Amino acid sequence: MAFQSPKGTFDWLPPRSERALRVREAVSAPARRAGYGYIETPTFEDTALFARGVGESTDIVSKEMYTFDDKGGRSITLRPEGTAPVVRAVLQHGLHNGRLPVKLWYSGNNFRYERAQRGRYRHFSQVGIEALGADDPVLDAEVILLAAEGYAALGLTGVTLLLNTLGCKECRPAYRAALQGFLAGLDLDEPTRRRAEINPLRVLDDRRPELQARLAAAPLVTDHLCEACKAYHEEVRSLLSAMGVAYTDDPRLVRGLDYYMRTTFEFVHDGLGSQSAVGGGGRYDGLSEMIGGPPLPGVGWAIGVDRTVLAMEAEGLFGEEDPAGGVPVQVYGVPLGEEARRRMFRLLAEIRAAGLVADMAFGGKGLKGAMKGADRSGARFALILGERDLAAQAVQVKDLTTAEQTEVPLAQVVHVLKGKIQ
C-alpha cells in the first residue's frame, strides 16, 4: 500500500460517515432554533491567538499545537479549538457592537498533537456554540440546555452533565492561593510543581490515580466563592433543575483552557472508557481582553463529533433498521446497450428531480452484472431498458422484493414509481 492516513487520523467512510453527519445536524439544530448563526473561521490562525487566547500553561499550547512558519515567515497554527477563533472574528468584524448577545455556532476540524488512541485523535471534529456579550445565568443555562437537547435528540441516555463554577476575578485569587498552599505541601514531580505555580487549578485535572488520591484533601473552589458567584451558580443550577436537566455537581471539574470562569461543565459518557468527555464548555469572560479586545463576557461549548458517534455506537443506536448508509437507493437503472445508456442517464435525472433516490449500472455491464448491481444497491425497483423497450418507448419495472415485472411507458415511469414508493 502506498500511503496511509497520518498517525492519529482516520477516514470517515460510508456508510459510517453518515453517522458523523447525523451528529453534526442533531447537535446544531437546537442552537439554530435558539437564534445562533453559523460561522466559519479559517482552519489556521496566527499562533499568538492561541498562545494568548488558550493559555501558555495549557496542554494544548504547551505540547499539542501544530505550529509552523509559512513561506512568508509568519507563525501559523492549525486550529486546536474553536472558541478563540470565534472571539477573534467577533472582535475583528465588530459583531459585538450590534445586538447582544452575539450567538454563533460552528462545525469544523481541530488539530492537536496528542497521544493517539481510541477517542483521542490528532485530527477531530467539533460542533460548538458561543454566546457573547451577556453576563446572565439564564444564558449559561440556555447554552447547557441546548447541548443536553442535542444529545437527547440523538437518543443518547448514558450522558452525564458534570457542573462546577470556577469563581471570578474577585474570589478566584484567594482560592488559587489556598490551593497553591496545599499543593506546596505535596511532593510533586517537576512538571506538576511548575504547573502548580503557573496554573494550580489545572493540577486538579491530572488523570494519574496516585496523584488524584493525594488531591482528595485539596481545598475546593466551591468553598471559596464570593457571594456574587455563589448566587450566580445557584441560579444556573435552579434554572437547569426547572428544565429537568439532570447534573452532577463536580467541585473538582476544571477545564483545559485558561480563560474559563464561573460556570464550567462537561458531558461525559459511561461507555467510552477513559476518553469519556463527549463535550464541554463554560463561561470565559476574560478571553476577549486576553486577545486585545474590550471586556466581553462569553459562554459556550464544543461537542466532540467523533466521540459522540462512538458513544452512540456503544449504546447500539445505529441498528439494522437504521442502516445509516448514505441515502438508500430506491430505483436502479439497468440499461442494455449504448442508446439505452443515454436514455437511462436522462431518465435518472427526471426520477431524481421527482425526489426519488436513483442510481444505475455504469461501465456497459450485461444484464446479469447489472442486475447484481441492482441487488447490491438495496433498491426496491430495477428499471430494465433494452433495445426492444426503446423501440416501444417503454421500460420494464421490476420489483426486486417480489421479482414481479411490468412494462411501463417511458413517459409515465416517473409517475408510476412515485406512486409505488411514496
Q: Give the SS3 label for residue 47.
A: helix
283 binds ligand ATP (CB under 6 A): no
Q: How far is the CB of 117 from ligand ATP (least distance, A)?
A: 9
The stretch among 119-127, 137-145, 166-174, 366-374 that binds ligand ATP (CB under 6 A) is 119-127
What is the rounded distance in angstroms from the CA atom of residue 87 to the CA atom of residue 103?
11
278, 331, 394, 395: residue in contact with ligand ATP (rule CB under 6 A)? 278
> DSSP string covering 54-119, please?
T-TTSHIIIII--EEE-TTS-EEEE-S-SHHHHHHHHHHTTGGGSSSSEEEEEEEEEE-----BTT
- Residues 58, 61, 65: CA angle, nearest 5 degrees: 140
Q: Is 255 annotated as a binding residue?
A: yes
Contact call for residues 22 and 151 (beta carbons, < 8 A): no
Q: How far is the CB of 255 from ligand ATP (least distance, A)?
A: 6
- Alpha-carbon Rg for the chain, nearest whole angstrom, is 28
What is the rounded distance in angstroms from the CA atom of residue 63 to the CA atom of residue 58?
8
The stretch among 112-120, 226-234, 246-254, 282-290 that binds ligand ATP (CB under 6 A) is 112-120
Q: How far is the CB of 288 from ligand ATP (least distance, A)?
A: 19
**Alpha carbons within 13 A on the beta-carbon side of 268:** 13
280, 286, 298, 373: residue in contact with ligand ATP (rule CB under 6 A)? 280
Taking CB atoms, the residue at the shortest distance from ligand ATP is 304
Q: Give the SS3 label for residue 393.
A: coil
What is the rounded distance in angstroms from the CA atom of residue 370 to the CA atom of residue 335?
8
101, 137, 279, 373: residue in contact with ligand ATP (rule CB under 6 A)? 279
The smaller minimum CB distance to ligand ATP, of residues 175 and 265, is found at 265
112, 172, 269, 398: residue in contact with ligand ATP (rule CB under 6 A)? 112
The smaller minimum CB distance to ligand ATP, of residues 119 and 373, is found at 119
The smaller minimum CB distance to ligand ATP, of residues 232 and 267, is found at 267
85 binds ligand ATP (CB under 6 A): no
Q: Is 83 annotated as a binding residue?
A: yes
The smaller minimum CB distance to ligand ATP, of residues 254 and 329, is found at 254
The neighbouring-strand residues paired with 384 are 334, 396
258 binds ligand ATP (CB under 6 A): no
- Residues 266, 269, 271: CA angle, nearest 5 degrees: 160
State the residue for C-alpha cell 426520477.
351
126, 165, 288, 330: residue in contact with ligand ATP (rule CB under 6 A)? 126
What is the rounded distance in angstroms from the CA atom of residue 184 to the CA atom of residue 239?
38
Per CB under 6 A, residues contacting ligand ATP are: 81, 112, 114, 120-121, 124, 126, 255-256, 275, 277-280, 302, 304, 306-307
Q: Residues comprising the binding site for L-histidine?
A: 81-83, 112, 126, 130, 255, 259-260
